[in-house]
Amino acid sequence: MTPDPRLSINQATIKYADLATALRVTADAGVQSIGLWREPVNEVGLDTAATMLADSGLRFSTHCRGGFFTLPAGPARDAALDDNRRAIDETAALAAAGAEGSTAVLVLVAGGLPEGSRDLNGARERVRDALGVLAPYAQSAGVTLAIEPLHPMFGSDRCVVTTLGQALDIAADFDAATVGAAVDTFHIWWDPQVHEQIARAGREGRISTYQVCDWKTPFPADVLLSRHYMGDGIIDFASLTRAVVETGYDRDIEVEIFNADIWSDAPEKVVARTAEAFSATVSPYL
């Protein structure tokens, strides 16, 4: 079976593969695109990573991830902003090294409430402020910052941005080429406004990446790892994918799965299974 040409394997799906392995198994499977994570890239160094990516012949779809800027003013926040600038540089370098059709998109997880804080609005304002600081830097690097709304179960400790509509409200302050949103089925399937917000994201030119994986309960002990292959849970990929396609989105679609069982499987097998699941659940609606 030939994988869908728009499928991109997000490296987190094969978390324990190093960069060389991730690139190899993805390309060997006939998948054309990959989304990378900062840690394995920095393990080999950015220049080497860019060369390896170029040699793989793969497109580069996103870099994961920046963000975590809900801290109040101070050295920790300054360090986080500096780290985001490095992530922007990495994104630009990797997008330039990837095959034609690569996109320079840095996915941002906004961050949770600072320790001891209950000020959700304050944390959300600091996300907006941090984007204001980073947007000019991203713009000159030609990088799009993709605000990723996370499922509200992560709303206190990982990401105070909990809906696509909220991500778009924040992004509205900025140029659409510089700040957009990540549309990830796992995080937004439950939202009564999901269809209208996907349509809005398209109209406003802000779908920076479309990512898919499935939702199933009960959760494992670590709820971060409760993501599944498409088709194994309850998400209706038909209607969500149609909604994204109707906006004119025509770029890569990433599969990003955090799941301890999947991580413990051989990466070749995971990529093959991902490609099959994608063909069965997403491809029919492209």
Chain residues that interact with its own copies, rule: CB under 8 A: 113, 117-121, 124, 151-153, 155-157, 162-163, 165-166, 169, 189-192, 215-219, 221-223, 233-236, 239
Q: Which is nearer to its own copies, 124 or 206 (CB)?
A: 124
CB of 114 to its own copies, least distance (A): 10
CB of 155 to its own copies, least distance (A): 4
Q: Which is nearer to its own copies, 136 or 284 (CB)?
A: 284
CB of 221 to its own copies, least distance (A): 6
CB of 268 to its own copies, least distance (A): 29
Q: Which is nearer to its own copies, 143 or 159 (CB)?
A: 159
CB of 168 to its own copies, least distance (A): 11
Q: Which is nearer to its own copies, 92 or 130 (CB)?
A: 130
The 3-state secondary structure of the chain reads CCCCCCEEEEHHHHCCCCHHHHHHHHHHCCCCEEEEEHHHHHHHCHHHHHHHHHHHCCEEEEEEEEECCCCCCCHHHHHHHHHHHHHHHHHHHHHHHCCCCCCCEEEEECECCCCCCCCHHHHHHHHHHHHHHHHHHHHHHCCEEEECCCCHHHCCCCECCCCHHHHHHHHCCCCCCCEEEEEEHHHHCCCCCHHHHHHHHHHCCCEEEEEECEECCCCCCCHHHCEECCCCCCCCHHHHHHHHHHCCCCCCEEECCCCHHHHCCCHHHHHHHHHHHHHHHCHHHC
Q: Which is nearer to its own copies, 25 or 282 (CB)?
A: 282
